Structure 1
């Protein structure tokens, strides 16, 4: 799985809040010391994060681990809008940087800190299956005109949702269910879906390990 991009737009999100989220965004079910961190905190608007690793074979960005974010960490995305980030991704998505799924990314905004949710966004595309091979419809021919599907997922479901979308195991709408048995609501005009999710599959032991790290980081003043 490629490294995902994480943008933090909430001005009040200090290093402790970001580290706290990163603990919950780990792969606590299958991860180990080398693989359970999977998100790269994007701190600059000038693209060093996407270009400076372009010489590596898979061009993978290093994951930002809990504790890597400190009081000295700068963040040029503080106060940015979702539209700012979408434009940034659209500008860089055609570069074809292999190994970084930049059309699928996370955002922590002000609401994310209040209710412990994370915005998961994925570029919206429609495919012409009659073409051989299938090809993407240009925007003007698509049924929907927004650029990104989006929903808010709880912190402890962020990783499993991202991972399944990243490897193509599930589609975006698979995590957005119908409303109490009614017909599927789908996305609104700006691409927002209602996240239903599947709940957390973590065992009591896995949750205990996670909460143990939370307590340790609290004691060390990192969250």
Structure 2
């Protein structure tokens, strides 16, 4: 499994506070230490970096004037990835699974987890599929897809079908009857980190 997953922002003029909040909420607070174990890399350029970029740290500055993926469609980002798989590998970023935050995402606190489609008879294809889900669920989905612990179908409402924007609708798992102490601890850590970000004036 590669270390990091790419994050692409397609909203026209994302507010830095909104982007910082989104980037914090997609972190894994349940099974990892933040920020040491962050595995998200914000990609704003189509050019190869001089060095392997680390996971993106907060706060993120205003990217409105230097984001190469502004107003890009999901299909256009997929095309970029498919045509630059060697570049993604050099960056230490997965070319099989990635995340998009679009304008709708900022408005609804959701993001799009995208997965390159694998077909048994041909292997990896140039096709992809995407699931729209809450920020807080993104890390769990993308890691499980990357590790092949679970399939895309395990996370989506197949009966609802593909949505108007081309994504699939996320379906939450049934409530667990097991001890929820770990989950509660993760939620508490997330709230503490979010408060620190707000107190610093970097998020609403």
User: What range is the shorter-chain TM-score in?
Assistant: 0.7 to 0.9
Whether the 8 Å contact between 1:45 and 1:76 is mirrored in structure 2 is: yes
Alpha-carbon distance in 1 for matches of 2:88, 2:26: 26
Q: Which residue of 2 aligns with 1:175?
A: 155
Bigger Cα Rg: 1
Whether the 8 Å contact between 2:5 and 2:93 is mirrored in structure 1 is: yes
Alpha-carbon distance in 1 for matches of 2:163, 2:188: 38
Structure richer in strand, relative to its length: 2
Q: Which residue of 2 aligns with 1:20?
A: 21
Cα–Cα, structure 1 residues 76 and 95, in superposed 2: closer, same or farther, change >3 Å?
Answer: closer
Q: Which residue of 1 aligns with 2:80?
A: 88
Which of 118, 128, 147 is equivalent to 2:111?
118
Superposition RMSD on alpha carbons, in Å?
2.9
Alpha-carbon distance in 2 for matches of 1:42, 1:167: 22
Alpha-carbon distance in 1 for matches of 2:166, 2:86: 21
Q: Which residue of 1 aligns with 2:123?
A: 136
Whether the 8 Å contact between 1:93 and 1:102 is mirrored in structure 2 is: yes
Cα–Cα, structure 1 residues 206 and 136, in superposed 2: closer, same or farther, change >3 Å?
Answer: closer
Cα–Cα, structure 1 residues 66 and 78, in superposed 2: closer, same or farther, change >3 Å?
Answer: same
- In structure 1, list runs of 5 or more residues that go unmatched: 54-60, 129-134, 140-145, 180-184
- In structure 2, list runs of 5 or more residues that go unmatched: none
Q: Tell me by how many angstroms 1:205 deviates.
A: 3.0
Give the length in aligned residue pairs.
Answer: 195
Whether the 8 Å contact between 1:148 and 1:191 is mirrored in structure 2 is: no
Alpha-carbon distance in 2 for matches of 1:199, 1:22: 26
Q: Which residue of 1 aligns with 2:198?
A: 218
